[in-house]
Chain A
């Protein structure tokens, strides 16, 4: 396989956007083309989960490739639930690595705020098993709530640890102009104060409001190229060095050990193996914290910390900016926001920014190896990416 490099990146604000889904996909692509110094690409991948259902638009990639005047380049929409973004990057990686294409554009977009919060939650809940979960009223927050209770009982994670993740990531988001939430919070305010139950009510016990990511609109883009093309463009050389993907049972009740996220474990191991780096080499990571518990558990399953020790690393400050291994410097899904189809691409965007040394106030000093984990369903389809700065 050929080496694959990220030669351009772009992103929109993650918030409520008042323009069409195809433009949410196209704006970051225009920014990325400018960033790379390119006018043409060989192929376009558009990551999106809900266009057909939420925005009444199907065939999104055909609309995007045309509005960008990139026809007749091939184009397709990639849907893999909330892991659509990293899945689309994986497809682009394969196209360049195989030699089929030299330059491909991967853009992810979602416009979820076109409907109200209940409809958006129900749209995401259609990921669950139709007969064995969905009919009961199961939503993603309720699966996360049941998972959190098991994790608390088994490993001693407390509501305070969850609140620490929320505070860390929302504070990181204050340093990210594109983030959805620019709202400073404290553990005291959301947990200890007399107003805590009012400003941080339960959503799916034991998870509260500030344990859940916001519902966002947004788009992000990366452009991938072969070594020859990347070197000719002359920008910083960030290599997409490893890609891994794995699946798990649709129903979480069917998992032998319901506190394990085996798809995360396997996808991460594959990405590290192919990249030739180890979890201990990673300088900065973006993990899929749709719920605060997930950042803690993923930090264990990908191999940064031992099983059941993620909350201890969080307590020590290891995962904060300035710590040993900053996690979610962008604010993560919690702070940056979670437009489902865009999230995996936005994670890659942040890692490339960090490895180029262009992350401003939230820059992780000397970052050379970066990692992302994009989590689809409730861990039933996971894509991990490893990036290495070469020059």
Chain B
């Protein structure tokens, strides 16, 4: 099964959240586990980005491009960009990949490339 990153839909009011939260931001419902996971859409538009030159020590690359992407349907996500020349407003497509290796712990997240 391919890895997914999930949004969480409130069972009471239908509001989607990313990332996960314990209590719905829309209706305030706080019953335990009252959210359904929904895979995040993969395509969206670049809202803003940066190229980071001072990287945390887990990253063995000279620079790292990070961006906020407005996914189709309206949710936003922060992720890594594998794009030579990012431009605000460009269309991107995300895949779930290893984004950080922390003491042998492989963390998965969304990496975006030009759609």
Contacts of A132 in B (CB 8 A): 18-19, 77-78
**What's the Cα separation between A131 and B5 when bound, in Å?**
11
**What's the Cα separation between A153 and B47 when bound, in Å?**
11
**What's the Cα separation between A142 and B64 when bound, in Å?**
10
**What's the Cα separation between A136 and B20 when bound, in Å?**
17
B50 within 8 A of partner (CB): yes
Residue of A nearest to B100 (CB): A135
Contact yes or no, A121 B56, CB < 8 A: yes
Contact yes or no, A149 B64, CB < 8 A: no
**What's the Cα separation between A136 and B57 when bound, in Å?**
12
Known: A132-B19, A150-B48, A252-B68. A139 touches B56 (CB 8 A): yes
- B48-103 at interface with A (beta carbon < 8 Å): 48-59, 64, 66-68, 76-80, 88, 99-100
A153 shortest CB reach to chain B, Å: 6
B11 shortest CB reach to chain A, Å: 20
Known: A205-B50, A205-B51. A135 touches B76 (CB 8 A): no
A339 within 8 A of partner (CB): no
Residue of A nearest to B111 (CB): A136
Contact yes or no, B99 A138, CB < 8 A: no
Contact yes or no, A122 B49, CB < 8 A: no
Contact yes or no, A149 B99, CB < 8 A: no
**What's the Cα separation between A117 and B58 when bound, in Å?**
14
Known: A136-B100, A253-B68. A129 touches B19 (CB 8 A): yes
B107 within 8 A of partner (CB): yes
**What's the Cα separation between A138 and B58 when bound, in Å?**
12
Contact yes or no, A146 B67, CB < 8 A: yes
- 1/0 contact trace for A104-138 toward B, CB 8 Å? 00000000000001110110010001011101111
**What's the Cα separation between A119 and B77 when bound, in Å?**
26
Residue of A138, A153, A204 touching B51 (CB-CB under 8 A): A204
**What's the Cα separation between A201 and B51 when bound, in Å?**
12
**What's the Cα separation between A138 and B107 when bound, in Å?**
14
Known: A122-B57, A253-B68. A136 touches B50 (CB 8 A): no
- A165-224 at interface with B (beta carbon < 8 Å): 201-207
B109 within 8 A of partner (CB): yes
**What's the Cα separation between A118 and B53 when bound, in Å?**
11
Contact yes or no, A138 B54, CB < 8 A: no
Q: Which of A118, A131, A135 has the most CB of B within 10 A?
A: A135
Contact yes or no, B52 A137, CB < 8 A: yes
B8 shortest CB reach to chain A, Å: 12
A126 shortest CB reach to chain B, Å: 10
**What's the Cα separation between A253 and B19 when bound, in Å?**
10
**What's the Cα separation between A149 and B57 when bound, in Å?**
25
Contact yes or no, B68 A139, CB < 8 A: no
A251 within 8 A of partner (CB): yes
Contact yes or no, B51 A202, CB < 8 A: yes
**What's the Cα separation between A57 and B52 when bound, in Å?**
31
B46 shortest CB reach to chain A, Å: 10
Contact yes or no, B66 A142, CB < 8 A: yes
Residue of B nearest to A212 (CB): B54
A41 shortest CB reach to chain B, Å: 39
A132 shortest CB reach to chain B, Å: 4
- 1/0 contact trace for A244-271 toward B, CB 8 Å? 0000000111100010000000000000
Contact yes or no, A125 B54, CB < 8 A: no
**What's the Cα separation between A121 and B77 when bound, in Å?**
22
Contact yes or no, A258 B68, CB < 8 A: yes
Residue of A129, A131, A139 touching B54 (CB-CB under 8 A): A139
Known: A139-B56, A153-B88, A204-B54. A146 touches B66 (CB 8 A): yes
Q: Which of A125, A145, A153, A207 has the most CB of B within 10 A?
A: A145
Q: Can you spell out 19 A-B residue pairs with CB atoms less than 8 angstroms apart?
A: A118-B54, A122-B57, A131-B19, A132-B19, A133-B78, A135-B109, A138-B78, A139-B54, A139-B56, A146-B67, A149-B48, A149-B49, A201-B53, A202-B53, A204-B52, A205-B53, A207-B50, A258-B47, A258-B48
Top 8 A-B pairs, shortest CB-CB distance:
A145-B50, A132-B19, A253-B76, A135-B107, A146-B48, A205-B51, A204-B50, A253-B68
